[in-house]
């Protein structure tokens, strides 16, 4: 590479080759300007339109328990936060949320919780089976953290289609600064490998601007995502929560989050890329901007209004006072306002050519 190579050249190369080296990524993150970001956003938006048209996939999230054995330093529902009022939905309540969501056109249900030991793989498998029996045309996504291979297998056999487990950071040392010593980066990465091996559609991802994150960390994240090729990538800004050790840490940069969305779209053109709730929290029109920068998924909340305020991973989370029906029509409006349409479909990751997954 000559010294004259600009970030813009690297974005062109990314679009062409679908990859950059670790050093190239590091340069991108050290040297980018707002102009470069807009250049990437334009290309990413076009790429998303070519692959998905103006359709936005929606997934309804059911936050069924905020009880968690882990103590991630960034997370509002970490075990040592005694200010949280803890809850668990019953199986009936979970199924009810899905039924309600079905009526609003959701064809994917994401069951998300803290790492709550009460919900064993057996219990979860029973719930997955019931959802699939009631709604055979729907996909079920799990987002319940680190489990063992046999547990992931049981859940897959019960009918779970997808699994979200953000890797949080591809840098082992950085991982150690975000998590207590009991948690291991190797184990998390092993979980992701196992999920892929078991045939799940897998989602990885990071928080942008998490404490101690460097340009090098982001470069490592992009190299990891480019080689692991997850079907989904969850990216949102880090947002502090008042009752965590990171309460005084700055929010992750909004523009950098949008830039990362665009870069992911260019690297993995068909990846399912949500404009996250955190992005909508840091800016009132953050999700719309996410879509305009290459995102193609939105994941509104289907949890009962009574528990929404208790599932606060970070401060000021949006939609905690709204009914599912309100969020659904709100999204329709927001997407229409920027020329996009909410699609009533499972929105699977379809790829005949595995290489460009
Ligand atoms: N700010 C932004 N994102 C957060 N998450 C957890 N805590 C925060 C926070 N304070 C993200 C993590 C986790 C996902 C469920 O939510 O990346 O994997
Ligand atoms: Fe929840 Fe707009 S999406 S109120």
- 2 pLDDT band, cuts 50/70/90, is low
Please state, in angstroms and rounded to a whole number, the distance separating the CA atoms of residues 274 and 270: 12
- The pLDDT assigned to 352 comes to 44
Cα 9 to averaged position of ligand 1 atoms, centre (Å): 33
Interval 48-68 mean pLDDT: 98
Please state, in angstroms and rounded to a whole number, the distance separating the CA atoms of residues 108 and 60: 6
Interval 22-33 mean pLDDT: 98
Which atom in ligand 1 lies closest to the alpha carbon of residue 75?
Answer: 7
- CA gyration radius for the chain? 19
- The pLDDT assigned to 4 comes to 76
Interval 306-316 mean pLDDT: 97
| Pocket lining: 233 vs ligand 1, CB cutoff 6 Å | no
Q: How far from 264 is each of 37, 53, 269, CA to CA, in Å?
A: 13, 18, 8
Which atom in ligand 2 lies closest to the alpha carbon of residue 322?
Answer: 4
Tokens of 162: 């997808």
The answer, yes or no, to whether residue 357 has pLDDT greater than 70, is: no
Please name which ligand lies nearest the alpha carbon of 238.
1
**pLDDT single digits (tens) 60-82:** 999 999 999 999 999 999 999 99
| Pocket lining: 256 vs ligand 2, CB cutoff 6 Å | no
User: Which one, of 89, 94, 164, lies nearest residue 129 by Cα?
Assistant: 94
- Domain 19-343, CATH homologous superfamily name and number: Aldolase class I (3.20.20.70)
- 31 pLDDT band, cuts 50/70/90, is very high
Residue in the block written with tokens 């659904």 = 328
Please name which ligand lies nearest the alpha carbon of 328.
2
The answer, yes or no, to whether residue 3 has pLDDT greater than 70, is: no
User: Furthest-apart CA pair in the chain: how many Å?
Assistant: 62
Q: Determine what percent of the chain is predicted with pLDDT higher than 90.
A: 96
- The pLDDT assigned to 354 comes to 39
**pLDDT single digits (tens) 241-264:** 999 999 999 999 999 999 999 999
Please name which ligand lies nearest the alpha carbon of 206.
1
Cα 68 to averaged position of ligand 1 atoms, centre (Å): 13
Give the closest residue (by CA) to ligand 2 atom 1: 327
| Pocket lining: 75 vs ligand 1, CB cutoff 6 Å | yes
């Amino acid at each position: 590479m000559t010294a004259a190579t600009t970030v813009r050249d690297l974005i062109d190369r990314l679009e062409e080759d679908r990859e950059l080296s670790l050093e190239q990524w590091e340069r991108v993150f050290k040297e980018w300007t707002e102009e470069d970001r807009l250049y990437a956003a334009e290309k990413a938006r076009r790429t998303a339109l070519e692959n998905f048209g103006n359709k936005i996939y929606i997934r309804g999230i059911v936050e069924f328990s905020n009880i968690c054995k882990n103590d991630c330093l960034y997370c509002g529902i970490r075990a040592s936060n005694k200010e949280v009022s803890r809850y668990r939905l019953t199986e009936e309540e979970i199924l009810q949320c899905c039924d309600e969501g079905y009526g609003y056109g959701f064809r994917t249900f994401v069951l998300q919780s803290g790492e709550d030991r009460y919900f064993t793989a057996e219990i979860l498998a029973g719930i997955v089976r019931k959802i699939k029996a009631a709604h055979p045309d729907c996909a079920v996504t799990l987002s319940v953290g680190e489990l063992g291979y046999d547990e992931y297998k049981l859940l897959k056999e019960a009918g779970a289609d997808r699994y979200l487990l953000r890797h949080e950071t591809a840098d082992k040392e950085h991982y150690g600064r975000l998590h207590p010593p009991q948690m291991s980066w190797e184990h998390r990465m092993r979980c992701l490998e196992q999920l892929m091996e078991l045939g799940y559609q897998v989602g990885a991802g990071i928080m942008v601007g998490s404490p101690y994150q460097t340009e090098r960390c982001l470069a490592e994240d992009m190299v990891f995502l480019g080689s692991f090729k997850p079907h989904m990538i969850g990216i949102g800004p880090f947002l502090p929560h008042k009752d965590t050790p990171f309460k005084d840490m700055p929010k992750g940069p909004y523009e950098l989050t949008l830039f990362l969305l665009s870069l992911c779209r260019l690297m993995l053109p068909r990846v399912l890329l949500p404009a996250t709730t955190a992005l909508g929290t840091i800016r009132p029109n953050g999700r719309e901007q996410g879509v305009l920068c290459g995102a193609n998924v939105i994941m509104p909340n289907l949890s009962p209004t009574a528990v929404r305020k208790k599932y606060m991973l970070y401060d000021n989370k949006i939609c905690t006072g709204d009914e599912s029906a309100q969020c659904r029509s709100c999204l329709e409006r927001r997407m229409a306002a920027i020329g996009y349409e909410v699609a009533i479909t499972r929105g699977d990751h379809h790829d005949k050519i595995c290489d460009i997954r």
